[in-house]
A and B are shown apart, each in its own frame.
Chain A
């Protein structure tokens, strides 16, 4: 039997999504069906090894794209792969690292390294054998889809077991591997009608009713419910780690859209007073996919 050739690559990600594969017994049980041909995370895989491979069946890319290196590698992977899967919210929507798009490159570097001068520069290694070059730090964090064509999207932070089980035979067809119904459908705090009449922060007193009714921002209605409402079950409002539903272009704008339709009165001022960093809350996982981000950057 011909084995399915798999590749795994982690760009600006935490490797969590990839590891969730290895948390799955089914992955190991069926391991005779596939071979991992390139995965720098688990095997000794170098760029030159990748260049030698001529065909990959399925490539999983995790994390968003910031460095020139990420860009180069995903482009090579795309060329060689039959199917490219964006694995996890970072790859699909930009994820938490995407919040860096609120800052310019200079701001980020000076925050991390103190001042511009101390930014690491390319230099020769002592023995002169290799030349170490640092990849270029691009101006913005991008989704995988913005760099290469992506065939399948598997959002989640990390993706849930049921999602991975759907793709474990590596022969799936659906473009989006994600639950159709929202977190609200699996939420224990179910209500008949949601109306928002005031605004509260999550650390204020929680009376056990639906968070939105209490005025606490909860993104349950906007987020696919693969998670089985794990956060709400431990009394934490949904932060939308699965990103938006496939049709939605901009998660944060959709939050505003939703709030404006379920708010009983004008809560805009209260909202911006209680959440001074509202944009960072509503775009916590999806900033690179937002419309606003692009416009600001152009200027």
Chain B
């Protein structure tokens, strides 16, 4: 066994603190080759390692440099191209774990570097040559979420020739964007942007659109995930339904509830079609809301005295007989099962409810969230796009917008929701455009409008006479006449201000919905401290999740506007395509390996594996595709399981060198 040690100066990052000469002297007799380089990650250094391996001077490599997270793959390639197993490499991190943290203690830092390198040498001696695992790739993709992000990614992938399963939990795709009237910075119509995508998604032969469905289970790994999707029961035969909407008008008022599409500002019936632009435009029956007209329950028939069959109003209204309440529908719906090579999570966001903010008079119907106001401005909304108060149907004389409700607030979310400033300006401008006599105020901590066209958008808003008041609002009082008094502060004047208005719009924070967190738990994607799904690296891997083969797009990863969402969705689609376009994928072989001789068949490993990757049948058998190498099963009572590349032997050798 010939060990080569390569010590990096990392410019001055390491060399300023760790005495490299001392290290070279110390290790000269302990290994076969010791070399140093100003930048080990440079091409000449790479060539130096490679030629040492090629010339048979070394057959195990220890590199003392930065974190393996940075350049491990790069160094492995030097071994691989020289014909050595690329996993006979160990990196001692003497930068992040040594020079950067012990800058003031040069002598001790050098001693620590010695220990770290000795541990790596001890470990590299125990390593065995390993080969990558190779798996066939399933050339299809699951996209979760049919909003702008999910639709864009699906269409991009479909155009590149990949089969796409687009799963949306609502009966229609379109997401939040279809609820909007116009979008900044061009004030172009949101519906025009998104409707064509919805139609394309529905008609593209490569996209299998599965609406009103939720992902129930994801097994397997990158290259071949097994996905179980539960399609919820619609209680309407979608084959026959033509989306005419006749059934939606006949439910009695008892069977109405606040309409989710209008953010609760209008009512919908037990039979409903999500929105006028719904794709697919099909009716859905809500059995919880249904009052069972004529006491005809689902799955039963009822005959009148004359022998004629009784039909409920919805059944009667349906021109295509798509509604049949006598059929015993399975409330479980339908379980679909398919395999995909990669997954894009694009589940979107939700806004905080106004009820959380007691100081802002949430009981008043004239205090609404910005998403509700978006519906008021929309031509498909409850007022047909007219600026009216819903409490009395009158036109408000003054409207106030309050920003940072729940965001930039230590009590709720410390992050900035990023889009609120601009959508408030947009909504204010739309109000001014339609009804110039309405006074509009915006209370902000500061206006955040970075980027192309956005500052100009803000300047234009000010020019239109929108009052931007810099200062946090402390509370809202409801006056006896129904008006609202805003108790704010004007930082420019340096004094408290009070404004009386008829309608208050709260820009509540954007956050990840609970069911998305549940989904993340199910598929194993990490959630970061802000509460959004965590990307693998904020700069270098912004669309990859922490699990290989699962990608993120849109607001589930963090607040962002439409252009950023589309950019991320396209990036995610491109990343998926670059990985799935190969015949097979290579996966690091760091997975559990069973010593069949030692296995006692006790089943503890099967019991503890979070990925169902190990099964005991006399002895334990690892499913290489599903195993993530987490190492929980290495708690094997008979010690019959080791993680390849991280065996107990290697780890004990490392510890012995560190403490010995």
Which residues between 233 and 257 of chain A lie within 8 Å of chain B, taking CB atoms?
245-249, 254, 257
- Per-position 1/0 for B570-605, Cβ under 8 A of A: 000000000000000000000000010011111110
Q: Is B608 an interface residue (CB 8 A)?
A: yes
The answer to whether A63 has its CB under 8 Å from any CB of chain B is no
The verdict on A268 contacting chain B, using a C-beta distance below 8 Å, is no
A278 an interface residue at 8 Å Cβ cutoff? no
Task: Say yes or no for A261: interface residue by CB 8 A criterion.
Answer: yes
In the complex formed, the residue of B with least CB distance to A262 is: B608
B637: CB under 8 A from chain A? yes
A194 at the interface (CB under 8 A from B): yes
Determine the residue in chain B with the shortest Cβ distance to A257.
B635
Contacts of B602 in A (CB 8 A): 181-182, 184-185, 221
Measured CA separation A248–B607 after assembly (Å) = 20
Contact of A221 among B595, B598, B637 (CB under 8 A): B637
Whole-angstrom CA separation of A248 from B600 in the bound complex = 12
Partner of B635, one of A180, A182, A225, A260: A260
Nearest CB in chain A to that of B608: its residue: A261
For B638, the chain A residues whose CB sits under 8 A away are 182, 222, 245, 247-248
CA distance A262 to B605 in the complex (A): 9
Q: Does B537 contact A (CB under 8 A)?
A: no
Query: Could you say which residues of chain A place their CB within 8 Å of the CB of B604?
Result: 194, 221, 258, 261-262
Known: A193-B607, A261-B604. A182 touches B595 (CB 8 A): no
Of chain B, the residue at the smallest CB distance from A194 is B607
Closest to A181 in B: B600
Question: Which residue from chain B places its CB closest to the CB of A179 in the assembled complex?
Answer: B600
B397 sits at the interface (CB 8 A):
no
A182/B639 contact (C-beta < 8 A), A247-B595, A261-B608 known: no
Q: A95 on the interface (CB 8 Å rule)? A: no
B630 CB to closest chain A CB (Å) equals 10
A193 CA to B612 CA, complexed, in Å: 13
Asked if residues B598 and A246 are in contact (CB atoms below 8 Å), the reply is yes
B632: interface (CB < 8 Å) = yes
CB distance from A226 to the nearest CB of B (A): 12
A247 and B642 CA atoms in complex are apart in Å by: 11
Verify if A224 is at the interface (C-beta below 8 Å from B).
yes
CA distance A184 to B607 in the complex (A): 13
B640 contacts A by Cβ under 8 Å? yes
Closest residue on chain A to residue B639 by CB atoms: A247
Cross-interface CB contact of A245 among B598, B607, B632, cutoff 8 Å: B598
Q: A248 → chain B, closest Cβ, in Å?
A: 5
CB proximity of B297 to chain A, nearest CB, Å: 39
Are B637 and A185 in contact, CB atoms less than 8 angstroms apart?
no
User: Nearest Cβ distance between residue A227 and chain B, in whole angstroms?
Assistant: 14
In the assembly, what is the distance between CA of A195 and CA of B598, in Å?
Answer: 23
Cβ-defined contact, A248 with B601, below 8 A: no
A70-123 at interface with B (beta carbon < 8 Å) = none
Neighbouring B residues of A249 by C-beta, 8 Å = 639
Chain B nearest CB: distance from A236 CB in Å?
19
The answer to whether B595 touches A245 (Cβ under 8 A) is no
Q: Which of B457-511 contact A (CB under 8 A)?
A: none
User: Are B637 and A182 in contact (CB-based, < 8 A)?
Assistant: yes
Contact with B along A152-196 (1 / 0, CB 8 A): 000000000000000000000000000011101100000001110
**Are the C-beta atoms of B598 and A222 separated by less than 8 Å?**
no
CB distance from B27 to the nearest CB of A (A): 26
CB-based contact A185/B600 at 8 Å = yes
Q: When chains A and B are docked, how far (Å) is the Cα of A245 from the Cα of B597?
A: 11
In angstroms, Cα B206 to Cα A276, docked, is 64
Interface residues of B in 595-645 (CB under 8 A from A): 595, 598-604, 607-608, 632-633, 635, 637-640
- CA gap between A184 and B600 in the complex, in Å: 9
Q: Please, how many angstroms separate the alpha-carbon atoms of A195 and B607 in the complex?
A: 8
A290 to chain B, nearest CB (A): 14
Q: Which of A201-226 contact B (CB under 8 A)?
A: 221-222, 224-225
Tell me, rounded to whole Å, the shortest Cβ–Cβ distance linking A229 to chain B. 13
Q: Within residues 18 to 70 of chain B, which ones have a CB less than 8 A from any CB in chain A?
A: none
Least Cβ distance of B12 to chain A in Å?
39
Complex alpha-carbon distance, A225 and B633, angstroms? 21
Which residues of B have CB within 8 Å of A246? 598
**Cα A262 to Cα B637 with chains together (Å):** 12
Q: Are A245 and B608 in contact (CB under 8 A)?
A: no
- Please determine whether B639 and A224 come into contact, CB atoms closer than 8 angstroms: no
By CB atoms of chain A within 10 A, which of B604, B635, B638 has the most?
B638
CB nearest neighbor in A for B596: A180
Known A-B contacts A193-B607, A194-B607, A247-B595; the reply to A185 vs B601 at CB < 8 A is yes
> Is B598 a contact partner of A247 (Cβ separation < 8 A)?
yes
In the bound assembly, the distance between CA atoms of A133 and B174 in angstroms comes to 94
Q: In the assembly, what is the distance between CA of A260 and CA of B640, in Å?
A: 17
The chain A residue sitting closest to B642, CB to CB, is: A247
- The answer to whether A254 and B639 have CB atoms under 8 Å apart is yes
Kindly state the separation between the CA atoms of A221 and B600 in the bound complex, as whole angstroms: 9
With A and B bound together, what is the CA distance between A181 and B601 in angstroms?
6
Inside 8 A of B639's CB, which chain A residues have their CB?
Answer: 245, 247-249, 254
Q: Chain A residues near B603 (CB, 8 Å)?
A: 184
Render B102-136 as a binary contact track against A, CB cut-off 8 A, 1 for contact: 00000000000000000000000000000000000
Residue in contact with B637 in the complex, picked from A180, A195, A245, A260, CB distance below 8 Å: A245
Known: A261-B608, A262-B607, A262-B608. A245 touches B600 (CB 8 A): yes
Chain A residues contacting B632 (CB-CB under 8 Å) are 261
Residues of A within 8 A of B635 (CB): 254, 257-258, 260-261
* Residues in chain A near residue B599, CB distance under 8 A: 180
Given contacts A194-B607, A262-B608, whether A254 and B600 have CB atoms under 8 Å apart is: no
For this complex, 16 residue pairs linking A to B, each with C-beta atoms less than 8 Å apart, are A180-B600, A180-B601, A182-B602, A222-B637, A222-B638, A224-B600, A225-B600, A245-B637, A247-B595, A247-B638, A254-B639, A257-B635, A258-B604, A258-B637, A261-B632, A262-B604
B residues sitting closer than 8 Å to A (CB atoms) are 595, 598-604, 607-608, 632-633, 635, 637-640
| Given A185-B602, A247-B595, A261-B635, 8 further pairs, Cβ under 8 A | A182-B602, A182-B637, A194-B604, A221-B600, A221-B637, A224-B600, A245-B637, A258-B637
9 closest residue pairs by CB, A with B: A245-B638, A247-B639, A261-B635, A222-B637, A221-B637, A257-B635, A182-B600, A182-B602, A261-B608
